[in-house]
């Protein structure tokens, strides 16, 4: 949808209840009167994600939190980020380094000497990072620390490595317009490349954070 013309889709800022297409709910104020265009489609997707995963489920989430608070005080979770909490509750999939590297593809048929260097640095960093950090790398790239049944071969689209040459010395980012894709930035030295990769997967890249700070909703459809 992000890369397509939405004009013929005749969409508005509203959602169905999943069982009855005739019953529609607005995802923003006066959403039934606001048509989705190529200019506002990202806002539409963000509002749809927020509505489906937060507003529509507000009552259910409230009861889950009340029940959880009976077992463990919710204050205990304050020290965790949402990514750390997911890893704590769900764990990560079991796979080898060879599985991860073998399940990764690159976005070009031919790559330059610099891109080959970056790919080799990436492979070296994956081999030397801890199991927890490999889980965070998977989470950073795909949105989840768990793989589908069938491991990396079942990811759709496949786990993709891209090279961004313009932002020299920058942090890696997940792709805003394609899921399961990590964008690597070039560095002068391997040590700086590795440090920026570890920092990004543990804290989120600054570029990624700033992009979604600009949205007017707490959810950002990926991406």
CA distances from 154 to 20, 148, 151, 157 (A): 32, 6, 6, 9
pTM of the complete model: 0.60
The domain in which residue 176 lies consists of 89-212
Residues 2, 42: Cα–Cα separation, whole Å: 7
Residue 114's region, left for phi above 0, alpha for psi from -120 to 50, else beta, is alpha
Confidence of residue 120 (pLDDT cuts 50, 70, 90): very high
Q: Say whether both 63 and 102 belong to one domain.
A: no
Q: Say whether both 71 and 117 belong to one domain.
A: no
Q: What is the pLDDT of residues 66-114, one digit of tens each?
A: 998 999 888 888 888 777 787 777 777 778 888 888 888 887 667 889 9
What length does the chain have?
Answer: 223
Q: Say whether both 114 and 12 belong to one domain.
A: no
The yes-or-no verdict on residue 219 having pLDDT over 70 is: no
Q: Say whether both 59 and 128 belong to one domain.
A: no
Kindly state whether residue 99 falls inside one of the protein's structural domains: yes
Kindly state whether residue 220 falls inside one of the protein's structural domains: no
Kindly state whether residue 223 falls inside one of the protein's structural domains: no
Confidence of residue 33 (pLDDT cuts 50, 70, 90): very high
The two tokens of residue 188 are: 């002068």
Q: What is the pLDDT of residues 152-174, one digit of tens each?
A: 888 888 899 998 888 888 899 98
Long-range contacts of residues 27-35, Cβ cutoff 8 Å, at least 24 apart: 27/51, 35/10, 35/11
């Amino acid at each position: 949808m992000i890369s397509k013309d939405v004009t013929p889709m005749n969409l508005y800022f509203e959602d169905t209840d999943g069982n009855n297409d005739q019953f529609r709910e607005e995802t923003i104020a006066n959403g039934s009167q606001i048509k989705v265009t190529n200019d506002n489609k990202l806002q539409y997707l963000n509002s749809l994600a927020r509505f489906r995963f937060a507003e529509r489920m507000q009552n259910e989430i409230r009861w889950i939190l009340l029940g959880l608070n009976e077992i463990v005080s919710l204050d205990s979770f304050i020290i965790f980020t949402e990514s750390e909490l997911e890893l704590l509750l769900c764990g990560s999939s079991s796979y080898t380094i060879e599985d991860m590297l073998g399940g990764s593809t690159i976005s070009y048929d031919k790559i330059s000497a610099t891109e080959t260097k970056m790919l080799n640095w990436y492979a070296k960093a994956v081999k030397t990072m801890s199991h927890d950090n490999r889980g965070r790398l998977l989470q950073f790239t795909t949105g989840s620390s768990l793989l589908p049944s069938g491991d990396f071969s079942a990811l759709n689209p496949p786990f993709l490595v891209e090279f961004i040459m313009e932002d020299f010395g920058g942090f890696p980012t997940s792709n805003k317009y394609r899921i399961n894709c990590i964008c690597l930035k070039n560095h002068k030295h391997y040590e700086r490349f590795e440090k920026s990769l570890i920092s990004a997967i543990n804290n989120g890249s600054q570029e990624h954070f700033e992009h979604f700070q600009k949205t007017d909703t707490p959810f950002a459809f990926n991406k």
